[in-house]
A and B are shown apart, each in its own frame.
Chain A
Amino acid sequence: MRLVLRNLSIRRREGGVGEEDMPLKIVEETMEPNTSEVGLTINGIFIKSHPGLSLLEAARQNGFDIPTLCYHPDLPAEGQCRLCLVEIGEYPRTRLVNSCTYPVEQGLVVQTHSEKVLQARRMVLELLLARCPKATLIQEMAAAMGVYESRFKTDDPEELCILCGLCVRTCREIVGVSAISMAHRAPGKQVATPFTEASEACIGCGSCAFVCPNNVIPYTEKDGIRTIWGRDFELQPCNVCGNYIAPKYQLEHWAQLTGDPVETFFVCKDCR
């Protein structure tokens, strides 16, 4: 299903270890659209959905609100932030699962706002609030759940990164260069380029900064130079209007992907 597709597609681009083990046939088989239906109950209401969708997608399509931080519809879900937790099963055999990766199942009973779910969500937000006390997004989400201050310790009052990994996934899945990744384990975990040095792989596209919910990734543009992740990128002006389009390096990356001459991209989308 979707996870298979993803793993294999990453692998194909990166040419990782064990490529010989990878049967590409399966990709095509599972790509066929699934038209069958499954029925499940969310908050006591019976809904119909399609196999292959996640609980989060099914719930949102049917108007149930589930908060998320690390979910993005264009990216594979990783279940990192734990805000989208829902309770599944029937009393007394219930458990919490993250709805962004849990697939819809026939007959599943789901609670999106049970006491157990709310307690866990509040705790996650309280922990994040202690980590990033100045992050407006976290403050707002926490306040919406009735959490106004955290009982936990703040290490760095200026910290804004919640380690949701959206930037890392965007760089890997959408841009396809994997210039940044998570580094270290729990103590000192951070998003970084390899060895926190200027990355050769970075094309300066700024997608990471664009997708970041807390605007943590520093990024400046001055005199035709974009600076991001410790590296300067020369911006290419549009051949027609003269406005800057994107870093030259990024346009070269596009040219490489499409096989067109790089000059094809020297006209901005407004002048095209």
Chain B
Amino acid sequence: MPKFESPEHLREYRRQLLARRDPKQPQVLVCGGPGCLPLGSEEVAAAFTEELGKNGLAAQVLLKTSGCQGLCDQGVRVLLRPQEISYQKVTPEDVPEIVEATLKNGQVVERLVYEDSATHEHLVHKADIPFYRGQNALVLRKLDVIDPMSLDDYLALGGYRSLRKVLTEMSPEEVIDAVERSGLRGRGGGGFPTGRKWRVCREAPGEVKFIICNGDEGDPGAFMDRAVMEGDPHAILEGMIIGAYAIGARKGYIYVRHEYPLAVKRLSHTLDQARECGFLGNNILRSGFGLDIKINRGAGAFVCGEETALMASIEGFIGEPSPRPPYPAQQGLFGLPTVINNVETWANIPEIINMGPEWFAAIGTEKSKGTKVFSLVGAVNHTGLVEVPMGTTLRQIIFELGGGIRQDREFKAVQTGGPSGGCIPKQFLDLPVDYDSLQSVGSIMGSGGMIVMDTGSCMVDVARYFISFLHAESCGKCTPCREGLKNLLFILDEIIAGRGEEEHLALMEELCAAMASASICGLGQSAPNPVLSALKYFRAEYETHIRDKKCPALVCRPLLKFTIDPESCTGCLACVRECPVGAITGKKKMPQELDQELCVKCGLCYETCQFDAVKVE
């Protein structure tokens, strides 16, 4: 790659690049996203290399590994361009057939194509599949068509055009003004207006300022930021350079958790490329503006996603948050003005500059602009990353994009915003999703986790899971969070074990209120959400656990009672063989008996019985 000396040089290089590239050239894009990699996308790519070589197509067909293509439960995904044929569940064995049929003869391999569960129609093109049809990809737009390691791919799609525009045509104030007018709010969960944050930082006294990209995504089940860092790292970098120019920072950090080794690798490669091409360093594109960015790996603490803890961690201290004020935009990293934004926020910046703030502000709701990426997981038919305009209803996301609840079960609740979000019940399915509406029903946007639960989930158990996660991850600096989470977990454990008392519910509510108002940072302040929302919308379920010592969803094992119905039992002894403690006794071909004293409630007999003779309550 050349070193771009000037804006004209960059423009000329891009023109030549586009002239060199044939848009009609067949391309095979194998998904290398977080979902498909473990399913063997590297093997599929290797099979393509081999097969293309055998057929003498290696020179004509362009083979790439792309970022996440979405619809992760149907991986490994392969996209064939320019026809936009989307294949799913591809294995190395399917590759010869794809090469033979599609690449050589232009036919579609029907069995690898998405089949609509309702109409049984085969949907060949990506744009037809309901999962993608309802989306409005802005941040994820380039993920499935570019090779994340290739700067040329990014440049060909208009990459660094926004940077060129900013450095040549716009003053820092104009950039901040544009971001403010776009209405972009922080995608890490807080939802603070990005433009305002930048302005505070720009106006803060001092010559040395920093920018930070927060890539410490730690919510269970969430991988939005990971997918962007792995799939389109240059977009994040371009956003950061623009941000640094706007606030006057000359140094930046990307904080990535070390559990994302591929993201670290791709980002390092991106930074090296950017330094080589002159997008980082002194005098970027002859503008007089200079910047360098370092990668800082997090050591695995969830709390380091909190901005002040993250900065303490970069400084080399224990990752514990500190009280605000001072806010990071005034006194952040090393006590100097710092803008810290989430991966997705940075990735939105180039498009806002490129398409204009008004274009961006036209998407979304009144107070939440643009799109939001959610990682849709749990009891839905189709899991994966979805990007929808703000204001899309939960029903649309879960039932149209996600294809409804798995095994035709009934929807019970959706948990948004990661471990410290709340569970939203059925009556709010038509809620338009944005920062304020989620807050109004006791949940949060968070970084965009979305866990769907069906009637098989027990809300006491769900709350206990999140509280135990938060308890393990709380830094323990302040009393309400440290001691409060410990005691919440203890009370929930008591309820699950059948030792719950009436007073427990009121005590939990009182404790939650104190934690929410008295904790230092967002972790402690939002930690009560899973409990409070469950108590608000599913109180009866808690009361059943406490009063009747029963778990309606049949999840809390200590509250279950297994019995054998003598009417239906055939005496096949299948359960007797499975029972680990020998609690089931009886003669062959006669109804069996279950000794309640010995039963450890493992549920094996219940799962084994083919005659529904084992009853559970």
Query: Which residues in A have some Cβ–Cβ distance to B below 8 Å?
Result: 1, 3-4, 7-8, 11, 16-18, 21-23, 26, 78-82, 85, 95-98, 101-103, 116, 119-120, 123-124, 127-128, 130-131, 151-153, 155, 162-163, 165, 181-182, 184-187, 189
Judging by beta carbons under 8 Å apart, are B207 and A17 in contact?
Answer: no
Judging by beta carbons under 8 Å apart, are A124 and B475 in contact?
Answer: no
Of the A-B pairs whose beta carbons lie under 8 Å apart in the complex, a sample of 17, sorted by A's number, is A18-B315, A18-B316, A21-B208, A23-B208, A80-B479, A98-B520, A101-B323, A123-B514, A124-B518, A127-B483, A131-B483, A165-B477, A181-B318, A186-B474, A186-B475, A186-B481, A186-B485
Judging by beta carbons under 8 Å apart, are B303 and A185 in contact?
Answer: yes
A39 CB to closest chain B CB (Å) equals 19
Chain B residue numbers with a CB within 8 Å of A155 are 486
Complex-state Cα separation, A162 to B479, whole angstroms: 8
From A26, A98, A128, residue with most partner B Cβ within 10 Å: A26
Beyond A16-B315, A102-B323, is A185–B478 a contact (Cβ under 8 Å)?
A: no
B471 touches which of A16, A95, A124, A186 (Cβ 8 Å): A186
Chain A residue numbers with a CB within 8 Å of B487 are 127, 130, 152-153
A18 touches which of B334, B507, B510 (Cβ 8 Å): B334
B519: nearest chain-A partner, CB-CB: A82
The answer to whether B314 has its CB under 8 Å from any CB of chain A is: yes
The answer to whether B109 has its CB under 8 Å from any CB of chain A is: no
Judging by beta carbons under 8 Å apart, are B518 and A85 in contact?
Answer: yes
Complex-state Cα separation, A152 to B508, whole angstroms: 10
The answer to whether B439 has its CB under 8 Å from any CB of chain A is: no
Chain A residue numbers with a CB within 8 Å of B335 are 3-4, 7-8, 26
B516 CB to closest chain A CB (Å) equals 10
Chain B residue numbers with a CB within 8 Å of A3 are 326, 331, 335
Beyond A123-B480, A131-B483, is A185–B473 a contact (Cβ under 8 Å)?
A: yes
Complex-state Cα separation, A161 to B485, whole angstroms: 18
Complex-state Cα separation, A187 to B489, whole angstroms: 11
A25: nearest chain-B partner, CB-CB: B207
Chain B residue numbers with a CB within 8 Å of A127 are 479-480, 483-484, 487
Chain A residue numbers with a CB within 8 Å of B317 are 16
Q: B590-601 interface mask toward A, CB cutoff 8 Å, 1 = contact, 0 = none?
A: 000000000000
A126 CB to closest chain B CB (Å) equals 9
Q: B317-347 interface mask toward A, CB cutoff 8 Å, 1 = contact, 0 = none?
A: 1101011011000010111100000000000
Complex-state Cα separation, A3 to B331, whole angstroms: 8
Chain A residue numbers with a CB within 8 Å of B315 are 7, 11, 16-18
Beyond A18-B314, A21-B334, A123-B510, is A80–B477 a contact (Cβ under 8 Å)?
A: yes
Beyond A79-B323, A95-B517, A153-B490, is A21–B475 a contact (Cβ under 8 Å)?
A: no
Size category of the B interface is 35 or more
Beyond A23-B208, A119-B514, A185-B473, is A124–B480 a contact (Cβ under 8 Å)?
A: yes
B520 touches which of A79, A95, A131, A186 (Cβ 8 Å): A79
Judging by beta carbons under 8 Å apart, are A82 and B479 in contact?
Answer: yes
The answer to whether B187 has its CB under 8 Å from any CB of chain A is: no
Judging by beta carbons under 8 Å apart, are A120 and B517 in contact?
Answer: yes
Chain A residue numbers with a CB within 8 Å of B510 are 119, 123
Judging by beta carbons under 8 Å apart, are B483 and A130 in contact?
Answer: yes
A179 CB to closest chain B CB (Å) equals 15
Judging by beta carbons under 8 Å apart, are A78 and B473 in contact?
Answer: no
Chain A residue numbers with a CB within 8 Å of B251 are 21
Chain B residue numbers with a CB within 8 Å of A162 are 479
The answer to whether B513 has its CB under 8 Å from any CB of chain A is: yes
Chain B residue numbers with a CB within 8 Å of A22 are 334
Judging by beta carbons under 8 Å apart, are A186 and B322 in contact?
Answer: no
Beyond A7-B334, A120-B517, is A189–B482 a contact (Cβ under 8 Å)?
A: yes
Judging by beta carbons under 8 Å apart, are A186 and B486 in contact?
Answer: yes
Judging by beta carbons under 8 Å apart, are B323 and A97 in contact?
Answer: yes
B514: nearest chain-A partner, CB-CB: A123
User: A123-B514, A153-B490 known; 7 other A-B pairs, CB under 8 Å?
Assistant: A26-B206, A79-B322, A79-B323, A79-B520, A120-B480, A123-B480, A153-B486
Complex-state Cα separation, A120 to B326, whole angstroms: 23
From A1, A7, A78, A189, residue with most partner B Cβ within 10 Å: A7
Chain A residue numbers with a CB within 8 Å of B507 are 151
Complex-state Cα separation, A185 to B474, whole angstroms: 6
The answer to whether B476 has its CB under 8 Å from any CB of chain A is: yes
The answer to whether B200 has its CB under 8 Å from any CB of chain A is: no
Beyond A11-B334, A16-B316, is A163–B476 a contact (Cβ under 8 Å)?
A: yes
The answer to whether B583 has its CB under 8 Å from any CB of chain A is: no
Complex-state Cα separation, A97 to B480, whole angstroms: 13
Judging by beta carbons under 8 Å apart, are A103 and B483 in contact?
Answer: no
Q: B497-531 interface mask toward A, CB cutoff 8 Å, 1 = contact, 0 = none?
A: 00000010001001101100111100000000000
Judging by beta carbons under 8 Å apart, are A184 and B478 in contact?
Answer: no
Judging by beta carbons under 8 Å apart, are A4 and B479 in contact?
Answer: no
A14: nearest chain-B partner, CB-CB: B316
Complex-state Cα separation, A79 to B326, whole angstroms: 13
Complex-state Cα separation, A123 to B478, whole angstroms: 13
Chain B residue numbers with a CB within 8 Å of A123 are 480, 484, 510-511, 514, 518
B499 CB to closest chain A CB (Å) equals 12
B114 CB to closest chain A CB (Å) equals 44
A98: nearest chain-B partner, CB-CB: B323
Chain B residue numbers with a CB within 8 Å of A96 are 517-518
The answer to whether B602 has its CB under 8 Å from any CB of chain A is: no
B481 CB to closest chain A CB (Å) equals 7
A79 touches which of B478, B482, B483, B490 (Cβ 8 Å): B478
A69: nearest chain-B partner, CB-CB: B479
Judging by beta carbons under 8 Å apart, are A163 and B326 in contact?
Answer: no
A81: nearest chain-B partner, CB-CB: B479
Complex-state Cα separation, A17 to B331, whole angstroms: 18
Judging by beta carbons under 8 Å apart, are B478 and A82 in contact?
Answer: yes
Complex-state Cα separation, A102 to B472, whole angstroms: 29
A14 CB to closest chain B CB (Å) equals 8
Judging by beta carbons under 8 Å apart, are B483 and A82 in contact?
Answer: no
Chain A residue numbers with a CB within 8 Å of B579 are none
Complex-state Cα separation, A18 to B326, whole angstroms: 21
Chain A residue numbers with a CB within 8 Å of B206 are 23, 26
Chain A residue numbers with a CB within 8 Å of B475 are 185-186
The answer to whether B57 has its CB under 8 Å from any CB of chain A is: no
Complex-state Cα separation, A130 to B481, whole angstroms: 14
The answer to whether B301 has its CB under 8 Å from any CB of chain A is: yes
Chain B residue numbers with a CB within 8 Å of A101 are 322-323, 325
